[in-house]
Chain A
């Protein structure tokens, strides 16, 4: 069974540009989560999809971030326009059940905004 995959693994963009991150969850997992780790600090929740619906987006920092999950399969996270403080590692995770169950994480996308 393939794990959670994320693309790209690393992205370097200039302030003001747009970047789109992609996550492919484990097949059959309805729940998809986005998290972010900034500057070696804690991993922070961004949002949660159940299939194609946003279940919880309380962690999204501002309206420069847009997440979609068309068809309930893969998800994209777009940052537009990117700011310096958006730099960090963006993790995607998926789980089969909704609720407090173990989540399987992807390798992350390292975003550097210069």
Chain B
């Protein structure tokens, strides 16, 4: 049972425009969410996170939005740059749990065209 879903396998945007990556989850116990970026032959790199007590978190060009009622989060990248081309993973966890295991989505491949 897939608890975290990224329904768009790929996304292509023009340099300078906004990239919006989406993620849905089913487990209402999740209260901490993270986005990771992955380049080929490398491990995932942490980008940004958000706790369920917030609905928005911003870090430079990256903003994550959380809609708890819809069990949906999104990552906005503005402006998009060619170096942002990578696979983006959404992950969820239970903040108060005694394990920090992350539940990942399948990933969305972002291509930013110059």
Residues of A within 8 A of B (CB): 4, 31, 33, 35, 40-45, 48, 55-56, 58-59, 91, 93, 95, 97-108
Give the CA-CA distance A110 to B96 in the complex, in Å: 33
Q: Which of A4, A45, A59, A107 has the most CB of B within 10 A?
A: A45
CB–CB A43/B44 < 8 A: yes
Flag if A100 contacts B44 (CB, 8 Å). Answer: no
B14 at interface by CB-CB < 8 Å: no
Q: Mark B21-40, 1 if CB is under 8 A from A, else 0.
A: 00000000001101010000
Contact, CB under 8 Å: A108 / B107:
no
A102 and B54 alpha carbons, distance in the complex (Å): 17
Neighbouring A residues of B98 by C-beta, 8 Å: 55-56, 98-99
How far, in angstroms, from A49 to B32 measured CA to CA in the complex? 20
Judging by beta carbons under 8 Å apart, are B89 and A43 in contact?
A: yes
Contact at A43–B99, with CB atoms within 8 Å?
A: no
B20 lies within 8 A of chain A by Cβ: no
A108 vs B38: C-alpha distance when bound (angstroms): 11
Asked whether B105 lies within 8 Å of A45 as measured between CB atoms, the reply is no
Contacting residues, chain A, for B104 (C-beta < 8 A): 35, 42-44
A105 to B37, CA, bound (A): 11
Shortest C-beta distance, B88 to chain A (Å), equals 12
| Cβ-neighbour of B2 out of A42, A93, A105 (below 8 A) | A42
Residues of B close to A102: CB separation below 8 A: 34, 46, 49
Please name all residues of chain B whose beta carbon is closer than 8 Å to the beta carbon of A105 when the two chains form the complex: 36, 43-45
Return 8 A-B CB contacts under 8 Å, by A number: A40-B107, A42-B107, A45-B101, A45-B103, A99-B95, A100-B31, A103-B100, A106-B43
Not counting A100-B31, A102-B34, a sample of 17 additional A-B residue pairs whose C-beta atoms are within 8 angstroms of each other reads A4-B43, A33-B100, A33-B102, A42-B2, A42-B107, A44-B104, A55-B99, A56-B101, A97-B100, A98-B98, A98-B99, A99-B99, A100-B96, A103-B100, A105-B45, A107-B41, A108-B43
Q: Quick check: A101 and B100 within 8 Å, CB to CB? A: yes
Q: Which residues in B have their C-beta under 8 angstroms from that of A106?
A: 43
Task: Report the minimal beta-carbon distance from B23 to chain A, rounded to whole angstroms.
Answer: 11
